[in-house]
Amino acid sequence: MKSYIQEQVQNYKEKHKNSGRLLINCPDQPGIVSSVTQFLHKNEANIIESNQYTTDPQDGKFFMRIEFDSPRLPEKEEELRKDFHSIAEQFDMTWTLKGAYDVKKTAIFCSKELHCLRELLLEWQSGDLITDIGLVVSNHEDCRELVESFNLPFYHIPSNKDIRKQVEEKQLALLKEYEIDLIVLARYMQILTPEFVAAHPFKIINIHHSFLPAFIGANPHKRAYERGVKLIGATSHYVTNDLDEGPIIEQDIMRVDHRDSIDDLKKMGRTIERSVLARGVKWHLEDRLIVHENKTIVF
Catalytic residues, by residue number, are 244
Helices within 66-208 (DSSP H only): 73-90, 115-126, 144-149, 164-177, 194-199
Residues 6 or more apart whose Cβ sits within 8 Å of residue 43: 70, 76, 80, 83
**3-class DSSP state of 247:** coil
Question: By C-alpha distance, which of 280, 163, 278, 284 is closest to 171?
Answer: 163
Distance CA 25, CA 106 (A): 25
Helices within the chain (DSSP H only): 2-15, 32-42, 73-90, 115-126, 144-149, 164-177, 194-199, 220-227, 262-285
